[in-house]
Amino acid sequence: MTTRHPSFTPRRVAVVGGSLGGLFVATLLKQDGHDVTVFERSSRGLARRGAGLVAQQDLYDVLHRLGLDQAADVGVVAAERITLDRSGRVVQRDRTPQTQVSWDHLWVTLRELLDDDEYLLGHRVEEVRSDDTHAEVVCDDGLVRSFDLVVGADGANSVVRQFVAPRDHTNQYVGYSTWRGLVPEGALDDDAAAVLLERFAFYNGPGSHMLGYLVPGPAGDTGFGFRRYNWVWYRPITAEQLARIMRDSGRSATDQSLAPGDLPEFLRDELRADAVAELPTAFAAAVVAEPEPFLQGIVDYVAPALTAHRVVLTGDAAAVVRPHTAMGAAKAAGDALALSDALGRWPLEAALATYDSDRLEVARAVAQYGVRLGRSLPFAARV
């Protein structure tokens, strides 16, 4: 726990969103002595849905403060990084091992620190209201509850963001997207498995940036045979093409992502044909092995401010950073630590002002880093 101001006051805090970012905030603030309630729209919880996280320092710091250092030990180790050329030849090799921490294990470990009445499933927040004395959470079932502070940890399409930044809450599509897949390692043919497994692999082609690595199995299993191969294929897709894919998938043209199972068969077959035509054989095999590829449009967003009255933004609600940074979860962890520290040290108004200025600077820096990384993609000049 952080140093407390002599007039430390335990607060009633609502956290909107119960993914990793929401759990970082809720568990730290609970440990600090605040009264927390998480509102999560999913009715079944998020266990068994994540994959592997490339962990960074802020993530380790949160776990350390919670006394959970060992939670980051559960993961899959990639022994080296390789880059393939179009023919499948390894053109670069870097023997730096890296661990992909189990998202599920982390989520379950953090969730266990909260009681069931502190983590409300099936509660979609429709609106947040606030003045300088309190904040209210309004759920879609009509439930309205009042708190001293509301924390938005509700991700890239945040409802809470609309209160904090009513005139500037829209993500900007950047002109490329990722096709993604997560296949049981046993679904890869022997040749592809020999090239791809146990390592981080990359390929850069004229219209492609592809990477793939092993992640734990659905329940966090890291044993041989239980792991999954996670592939990520970045391709330039114009806003018009993305809108067409959404419409063809029965979604609104303004949507920017498709979940597993959303993609119609004819588009999946087109993707497979493109993979065979454009990728090294091992990566093409990984794409073909995925029955339900999913899509994530890459967007940029940094909120103009992170607080308004008694409402605070954290994680992806505050700023969406490009996946190349591998810092989404770490940034959310850093936000949670900063909020905990500020509330422990300062009266509420000063705490929120400190959080706002400190974390907005970090959000801008990480977002700009992501934009710079995006410029180094092989197709950057076309987007």
Tell me whether residue 159 or residue 188 sits nearer to ligand FAD (CB atom).
Answer: 159
CA of 17: how far to CAs of 117, 122, 152, 212, 252, in Å? 15, 11, 7, 28, 23
Minimum distance from CB of 148 to ligand FAD (Å)? 19
Minimum distance from CB of 87 to ligand FAD (Å)? 30
Instruction: Please give the Cα distance from 271 to 210 (Å, whole number).
Output: 14
Residue 38, SS3?
strand
Minimum distance from CB of 39 to ligand FAD (Å)? 5
Minimum distance from CB of 73 to ligand FAD (Å)? 17
φ and ψ of 14, to 5 deg: -95, 135
Tell me whether residue 72 or residue 317 sits nearer to ligand FAD (CB atom).
Answer: 317
Minimum distance from CB of 335 to ligand FAD (Å)? 8
Minimum distance from CB of 101 to ligand FAD (Å)? 9
Tell me whether residue 278 or residue 356 sits nearer to ligand FAD (CB atom).
Answer: 356
Tell me whether residue 327 or residue 343 sits nearer to ligand FAD (CB atom).
Answer: 327
| Residue number of the CB atom closest to ligand FAD | 315
Tell me whether residue 51 or residue 195 sits nearer to ligand FAD (CB atom).
Answer: 51
Instruction: Please give the Cα distance from 214 to 53 (Å, whole number).
Output: 11
Instruction: Please give the Cα distance from 239 to 355 (Å, whole number).
Output: 35
| Burial (CB count within 10 angstroms: exposed 0-12, middle 13-18, buried 19+), residue 250 | exposed
Residue 39, SS3?
strand
CB under 8 Å to 113, separation ≥6 — which residues?
27, 30, 31, 66
Tell me whether residue 284 or residue 321 sits nearer to ligand FAD (CB atom).
Answer: 321
List contacts with ligand FAD (CB under 6 A).
16-22, 39-42, 46, 49-53, 103, 124-125, 153-156, 159, 315-317, 328-329, 332
Report which secondary-structure segment, H or E, holds 23: helix 20-32
Minimum distance from CB of 100 to ligand FAD (Å)? 8
Tell me whether residue 147 or residue 280 sits nearer to ligand FAD (CB atom).
Answer: 147
Alpha-carbon torsion 107, 113, 116, 117, what sign? negative
CA of 170: how far to CAs of 76, 136, 141, 155, 339, in Å? 35, 23, 25, 12, 24
Tell me whether residue 211 or residue 284 sits nearer to ligand FAD (CB atom).
Answer: 211
Minimum distance from CB of 271 to ligand FAD (Å)? 21
Tell me whether residue 328 or residue 344 sits nearer to ligand FAD (CB atom).
Answer: 328
Please check whether residue 346 is in contact with residue 174, taking contact to mean a CB–CB distance below 8 angstroms. Answer: no
Minimum distance from CB of 257 to ligand FAD (Å)? 11
Question: Which tokens go with 159?
Answer: 């409802």
Please check whether residue 33 is in contact with residue 10, taking contact to mean a CB–CB distance below 8 angstroms. Answer: yes
Instruction: Please give the Cα distance from 58 to 293 (Å, whole number).
Output: 31
Instruction: Please give the Cα distance from 152 to 288 (Å, whole number).
Output: 38
